[in-house]
Chain A
Amino acid sequence: MNSPKSDLPNYKYVGTRSIRPDGVDKVTGRAQFGADVSLPNMVHGQVLRSTIAHGRIRSINIDKAMAVDGVLAIITAADMPDIERRMVPLGEQQADIRDVADNVMARDKVLYHGQPVAAIAATSLAAGAQALELIEVDYEPLPVVIDLDAAQADNATLLHDEQITMTMAGPVENPVPTNVAFYMPLAKGDVAAGFEQADVIVENSFETATVHQGYIEPHATLVDAQIDGRTRVWTSTQGPFLFRTLIAGVLDISVSELQVIPTEIGGGFGGKLSVYLEPLAVVLSRRCSRPVKMVMSREDVLRASGPASASRIWVKIGARYDGTLVAIQAKLEFEAGAFKGSPVVPAVMTMFASYKMEHLLLEGYDVVVNKPKASAYRAPGAPQAAFAGEALLDELALKLNMDPIDLRLKNAVDEGDRAVYGPAFGPIGLKQALQAVKSHSWYDAPLAANQGRGMAVGFWFNVGMQSSASVRINEDGAVTVVTGSVDVGGSRASMALFAAEELGVPPEKIQALVGNTKTIGYCDTTGGSRTTFATGLAVVEASRKAVIELRNRAAMTWELDVEQVSWQNGQAIDLSGSNPPLALAEITAKAGHTGGPVGGDAQINAPHAGPGFGVQLCDVEVDPETGYTKILRYLVVQDVGKAIHPSYVEGQLQGGAVQGIGMSLNEEYLYNADGVLDDPGFLDYRVPVASDVPMIETHLIEVPHPPHPYGVRGVGETPIVPPMAAVTSAISHAIGKRVTQVPMSPPRLLSLIDGD
Chain B
Amino acid sequence: MSEMIYSVPASLTEAVQQLAVPGAALLAGGTDLLIQLRGGRPVPPNLVDLKKIPELQLIEIGPDSIRIGAGVTGIQITDHAELTSLMPGFVEGVGLIGSTQVQGRATPIGNLCNGSPAADSVPAMIAADAVCEIIGREGSRELPVGDFLTGPGRHCLKVGEFVVALRFPRPRTNQSDAYLRFIPRTEMDLAVAGAAVNLILKNTDSGPIVADAKVVIGGVAPTALTVDDAAQALIGTSLDDAALLAAGAASTAAARPISDKRGTAQYRKKIVAVLTRRAAQVAFDRAAQQLHGSND
Does chain A bind chain B? yes
Return the chain B residue nearest A126 by Cβ.
Answer: B1
* 175-195 of chain B: CB within 8 A of chain A: 182, 184-190, 192
CA distance A679 to B1 in the complex (A): 29
Whole-angstrom distance from the CB of B102 to the nearest CB of chain A? 12
Interface string of A405-445 (1 = CB under 8 A from B): 00000000000000000000000000000000000000000
Whole-angstrom distance from the CB of B271 to the nearest CB of chain A? 5
Whole-angstrom distance from the CB of B34 to the nearest CB of chain A? 14
Whole-angstrom distance from the CB of A18 to the nearest CB of chain B? 30
Q: Give which listed residue, B185, B186, B187, B274, contacts A626 with CB less than 8 A.
A: B274
Cβ contacts under 8 Å, A126 to chain B? 1-2
CA distance A626 to B183 in the complex (A): 10
Known contacts A124-B1, A684-B261: does B267 contact A747 (CB below 8 Å)?
yes
Cβ contacts under 8 Å, A751 to chain B? 267
A686 and B274 form a contact (CB under 8 A): no
B262 contacts A by Cβ under 8 Å: yes
B190 and A686 form a contact (CB under 8 A): no
* 65-98 of chain A: CB within 8 A of chain B: none
Whole-angstrom distance from the CB of B275 to the nearest CB of chain A? 8
B202 contacts A by Cβ under 8 Å: no
Cβ contacts under 8 Å, B2 to chain A? 126
CA distance A441 to B198 in the complex (A): 45
Cβ contacts under 8 Å, A504 to chain B? none
B23 contacts A by Cβ under 8 Å: no
B186 and A127 form a contact (CB under 8 A): no
CA distance A670 to B271 in the complex (A): 22
Interface of B is mostly: loop
B264 and A686 form a contact (CB under 8 A): no
A173 contacts B by Cβ under 8 Å: no
Cβ contacts under 8 Å, B264 to chain A? 747
A679 and B261 form a contact (CB under 8 A): yes
Cβ contacts under 8 Å, A750 to chain B? 267, 270-271
Q: Give which listed residue, B182, B185, B261, B263, contacts A678 with CB less than 8 A.
A: B261
CA distance A625 to B195 in the complex (A): 15
Return the chain A residue nearest B248 by Cβ.
Answer: A625
CA distance A754 to B182 in the complex (A): 18
Q: Give which listed residue, A627, A665, A686, contacts B189 with CB less than 8 A.
A: A686
CA distance A683 to B185 in the complex (A): 10
Cβ contacts under 8 Å, B187 to chain A? 689, 691
Q: Of residues A127, A678, A683, which shows the largest number of chain B Cβ atoms within 10 Å of its Cβ?
A: A683
CA distance A678 to B263 in the complex (A): 13
A257 contacts B by Cβ under 8 Å: no
Q: Give which listed residue, A628, A679, A683, contacts B182 with CB less than 8 A.
A: A628
Q: Give which listed residue, B192, B263, B266, contacts A756 with CB less than 8 A.
A: B266
* 154-213 of chain B: CB within 8 A of chain A: 182, 184-190, 192
A666 contacts B by Cβ under 8 Å: yes
CA distance A666 to B189 in the complex (A): 12
A745 contacts B by Cβ under 8 Å: yes
Return the chain B residue nearest A748 by Cβ.
Answer: B267
Q: Give which listed residue, B184, B188, B266, B270, contacts A628 with CB less than 8 A.
A: B184
B262 and A626 form a contact (CB under 8 A): no
Cβ contacts under 8 Å, B267 to chain A? 627, 746-747, 750-751
Cβ contacts under 8 Å, B271 to chain A? 625-626, 750
Cβ contacts under 8 Å, A679 to chain B? 261
A252 contacts B by Cβ under 8 Å: no
B184 and A689 form a contact (CB under 8 A): no
Cβ contacts under 8 Å, B182 to chain A? 626, 628, 746
Return the chain B residue nearest A745 by Cβ.
Answer: B184
* 662-687 of chain A: CB within 8 A of chain B: 665-666, 670, 678-679, 683-684, 686
Interface string of A689-702 (1 = CB under 8 A from B): 10110000000000
Whole-angstrom distance from the CB of A474 to the nearest CB of chain B? 42
Cβ contacts under 8 Å, B186 to chain A? 689, 691-692
A143 contacts B by Cβ under 8 Å: no
A581 contacts B by Cβ under 8 Å: no
CA distance A628 to B186 in the complex (A): 10
Known contacts A126-B1, A666-B184, A666-B185: does B190 contact A683 (CB below 8 Å)?
yes
A15 contacts B by Cβ under 8 Å: no
Cβ contacts under 8 Å, A124 to chain B? 1
* 1-16 of chain B: CB within 8 A of chain A: 1-2
Return the chain B residue nearest A677 by Cβ.
Answer: B261
Return the chain B residue nearest A687 by Cβ.
Answer: B185
CA distance A686 to B182 in the complex (A): 14
Cβ contacts under 8 Å, A746 to chain B? 182, 184, 192, 263, 267
Return the chain A residue nearest B266 by Cβ.
Answer: A756
Whole-angstrom distance from the CB of B171 to the nearest CB of chain A? 29
A597 contacts B by Cβ under 8 Å: no
CA distance A627 to B188 in the complex (A): 19
Return the chain B residue nearest A668 by Cβ.
Answer: B261
A688 contacts B by Cβ under 8 Å: yes
Cβ contacts under 8 Å, B184 to chain A? 628, 665-666, 686, 745-746
Going nearest first, the 4 A-B pairs with the smallest beta carbon separation are A126-B1, A747-B267, A691-B186, A625-B274
List 20 additional contacts besides A679-B261, A746-B263, A746-B267; criterion CB under 8 Å: A124-B1, A126-B1, A626-B274, A628-B184, A670-B261, A684-B262, A688-B185, A689-B99, A689-B185, A689-B186, A691-B186, A691-B187, A746-B182, A746-B184, A747-B267, A750-B267, A750-B270, A750-B271, A754-B270, A756-B266
Residues of A within 8 A of B (CB): 124, 126-127, 625-628, 665-666, 670, 678-679, 683-684, 686, 688-689, 691-692, 745-747, 750-751, 754, 756
